[in-house]
Amino acid sequence: MILKKIELTNFRNYGRLDIEVGPSVNVIYGNNAQGKTNIIEAISVGSSVISHRTSKDKEMIKFGENEYIINLYCHDEVYGSDVELQAGYYTEKSVFNNRKTPGRQLFHDGMEISKISRYMGVCNTVIFAPEDLNIVKGQPASRRKYLNLLICKVSPSYYDILGKTRRIIDQKNACLKSFKGRFDKSRENELDYWDFSLADLSSELIMERFRYCELISRRAAAHHSVISDGKENLKIEYSTITGSEAVIRGILDGDGIFDQFIAGTLPEAILAQIKTSLSDYILNKLRSERFNDIERGIYGNGVHRDDIDISLNGLSMRQYSSQGQQRSAALALKLAELEIIRDKTKSSPILLLDDVFSELDEGRRVSLLSGISTAQIFITCTDRSFVENELSSIVTSNVDTRFFRVESGTVFPE
Ligand SMILES: Nc1ncnc2c1ncn2[C@@H]1O[C@H](COP(=O)(O)OP(=O)(O)O)[C@@H](O)[C@H]1O
Ligand SMILES: [Mg+2]
């Protein structure tokens, strides 16, 4: 998918923005705090709904306004058709909001889309931003966000499972709280009900997360090895409800079937067998931990606590790595994301490079640029000439590079 035109209404510091962009490299430059990242964020939210900077939609509404609206006009090279996407968020005061509550509205070719999962994945973007460092050094939530968003982009129904799981966990927590720390036999049925649903949904999430962590691990390790001249061995391991992984591995213990599972080509019957075993295992686990949960009034050990262990030469990166190593690992993880999306969707996602040139040293820039030369790219930077020099290594003279200068919420195409 190629982006042709971006229209913004009341998004961050843009009251109104309407720009036509080029099919290959688009350089957005200007001084700090002028609105460069805001454009990158808008493209990312317009395509995948989730912002890399905030989880609060309201924050993205221009100060003093009541809605933001992002329109992306795209072209699908595979089908030769034009695609229009619109993502907006409206407060209860917005004149465009005919409901009484604040909320999001999404449109695909003018048709309202009620499920985010049906909107995501139409136009894929991958963003490289300074915040990527949080995947390596931040809290588990940053790693879950990275993993979840990656899976959503290639398998949108995953988003629905994620949403259902969150709702059930909330309900289970409300139920546990109402026990007030004391076991009450007469109310155990309700917990049974939530646990049954949770076991079912958790097993689906775990199977997907396990699979994608393995895919990420293989690709990220290869990239990291190149970036570090073969000196460092990056390892990504999925961490979830204890024992779950052993259940999956136990069933996949045969010639080549582990790789089929990872590639997504495992026969349905074996997948169903894994799902049943895992779901039974988790249900037992939930029951065995029930008294603990009742005592504490909160559901402790579940997929909402999942994490990814990232290690370098066997040492946990969060504790034992330098800033430079963390940057390399974050870059390797993002390049892995890019390749996985490209492989699964058979088309290159749009790349959004926010301030990465100033963050990365020469070697890492070369690694990044060599992985992305065929995609449509948006790059932000403060200095136009710096990017021009950098790009000369990947951009041949016949590639159409467009420059946009940004000055306090106004964009000047050059
Ligand atoms: N909701 C908002 N409404 C209006 N302005 C905003 C909003 N959020 C951020 N801004 C402004 O956007 C500017 C920062 O834009 P950003 O794209 O991050 O800058 P940069 O060009 O450095 O990437 C700041 O001036 C900030 O005040
Ligand atoms: Mg910025």
pLDDT tens profile 320-362: 999 889 989 999 999 999 999 999 988 889 999 998 877 777 7
pLDDT of residue 366: 73
- pTM (2 d.p.): 0.93
Q: What is the mean pLDDT of the chain?
A: 92
Placement of tokens 């106004």 in the chain: 410
Who's near 203: CB < 8 A, 6+ residues apart?
A: 275, 278, 279, 282
Cβ of 35 closer than 6 Å to ligand 1, yes or no, is: yes
Domain ranges of the chain: 2-124+348-413, 141-307
Q: Which atom of ligand 1 is nearest to the CA of 32?
A: 22
pLDDT at 373 over 70: no
Give 376 Cα–ligand 2 centroid separation in angstroms: 19
Least confident residue range of 77-81, 197-201, 285-289, 391-395: 391-395
Same topology, domains 2-124+348-413 and 141-307? Answer is no
Confidence bin at 397 (pLDDT 50/70/90):
low
Query: Which atom of ligand 1 is found nearest the CA of 60?
Result: 1
Residue type, 246: A
**33 CA distance to ligand 2 middle (Å):** 7
What is the whole-number distance in angstroms between the Cα of residue 39 and the centre of ligand 1?
A: 10
6 pLDDT more than 60: yes
Which whole number is the average pLDDT over 19-45? Answer: 95
Q: Does the beta carbon of 51 lie inside 6 Å of ligand 1?
A: no
Residue 398 pLDDT > 60: no
Pick the CATH number of 141-307 from 3.40.50.720, 1.20.1050.90, 2.60.40.1930, 3.30.360.10: 1.20.1050.90
Mean of pLDDT values over 150-179? 94
Is the CB of 33 inside a 6 Å radius of any atom of ligand 1? Answer: yes
Rounded to the nearest whole angstrom, what is the distance from the C-alpha of residue 397 to the centroid of ligand 1?
A: 34
- Per-residue pLDDT reduced to its tens digit, 57-79: 999 999 999 999 999 999 998 88
Q: What is the pLDDT of residue 396?
A: 57
The pLDDT assigned to 100 comes to 83
Q: Is the pLDDT of residue 389 over 80?
A: no
Q: 330 C-alpha vs ligand 1 centroid, how far in Å? A: 25
37 lines ligand 1 (CB under 6 A): yes
3-class SS at 90?
strand
Cβ of 12 below 6 Å from ligand 1: yes
- Mean pLDDT over residues 151-163, rounded? 94
Compute the distance from residue 32 Cα to the ligand 2 centre, in Å. Answer: 7
- pLDDT greater than 80 at residue 149: yes
* Nearest atom of ligand 1 to the alpha carbon of 34: 21
pLDDT of residue 14: 98
CA distance 145 to 159: 12
Q: Which atom of ligand 1 is nearest to the CA of 380?
A: 23
| Cβ 240 under 6 angstroms from ligand 1 | no
Which residue among 10, 12, 14, 406 is best mutated to probe the pocket of ligand 1, counting the most ligand atoms within 8 A of its Cβ?
A: 12
Mutating to test ligand 1, I would choose from 31, 32, 36, 38 the residue with most ligand atoms within 8 A of its C-beta, which is 38
Cα(279) to centroid of ligand 2, in Å?
A: 44
Task: Give me the mean pLDDT over the 107-118 stretch.
Answer: 95
394 — pLDDT class (breaks 50, 70, 90): low
Distances (CA, A) of 113 to 101, 122, 230: 18, 12, 47
Kindly indicate the confidence band of residue 306, based on its pLDDT and cuts at 50, 70 and 90: very high
Closest ligand to Cα 38:
1
* pLDDT score of 63: 98
Higher pLDDT, 230 or 65: 65
Q: In the chain, what percentage of residues exceed pLDDT 70?
A: 97
Q: What is the pLDDT of residue 371?
A: 65
Residue 248: band (very low, low, confident or very high) from pLDDT cuts 50, 70, 90: very high
Q: How confident is the model at residue 387 (pLDDT cuts 50, 70, 90)?
A: confident
Q: Residue with the nearest Cα to atom 5 of ligand 1?
A: 13
What is 2-124+348-413's CATH topology? Answer: Rossmann fold (3.40.50)
Q: Is 112 exposed, middle or buried (0-12, 13-18, 19+ CB in 10 A)?
A: exposed
Can you tell me the distance from the alpha carbon of 316 to that of 310, in angstroms, rounded to the nearest whole number? 6
- 134 Cβ partners below 8 Å, 6+ apart? 142
